[in-house]
Amino acid sequence: MPEPATAQVSQRTVTSPKGAVQLTVTVVGHGIDSAVFAIEVIPRTACDLNPIYRFSHVCSPSELVEFPDQVPGDNCYFRTDSITMVFDSALLAEKTLQNIEHDVDSLVKEYNVLNELSDASAGGVINNNIIVDPIDTTTTE
């Protein structure tokens, strides 16, 4: 069985003289793709010919496969391993960082559970220290 996937979240903050906080969050994955941040592409308008890219959420395991990991042509989302956001206060930046760390941790846990399930080709599946036997579909008379 392969080693479980892990992801390390790092952050860098810069505070302006007026109190605004720029937070940069980066993920480095081991056994999982590092591009875990879903970026929403807001289409061009008549007033603005360039699309706007906005952080949406931490991806689910299925979105790691569904969303491309580069800026797309016409897709609504893509993935990246680093995001930068600006906040009015350090408290809001800290709360957002805590939520991101929690979501990345949840993603890695779900990813590892799915890998365990897909690797279990025969016999029972070990999940959270519980052995689940396959359903016996044979009938006895």
Average pLDDT, integer, range 94-109: 96
Q: Give me the pLDDT at residue 6, please.
A: 95
Average pLDDT, integer, range 108-136: 64
pLDDT at 130 over 70: no
Residue 118 has phi, psi (to 5 degrees) of -75, -25
Q: Give me the pLDDT at residue 75, please.
A: 66
pLDDT at 10 over 80: yes
Amino acid 84 reads T
Task: Show the tokens assigned to 128.
Answer: 């959270």
Q: Give me the pLDDT at residue 15, please.
A: 93
For the entire predicted model, the pTM comes to: 0.78
Can you spell out the DSSP letters for the chain?
Answer: -PPPPEEEEEEEEEE-TTS-EEEEEEEEEESS-S--EEEEEEPP-SS--S-EEEEEEEPPHHHHHHS-SS--SS-SEEEESEEEEEESSHHHHHHHHHHHHHHHHHHHHHHHHHHHHHH--SS-EEETTEEEPPP------
Domains in the chain: boundaries = 6-120
39 vs 56: CA distance, rounded Å: 5
Residue with structure tokens 């994955």?
29
CB 45 within 8 A of CB 27: no
Is pLDDT larger for residue 68 or for residue 1? 68
Q: What is the pLDDT of residues 26-77, one digit of tens each?
A: 999 999 999 999 999 887 777 767 788 899 999 999 999 999 988 776 668 9
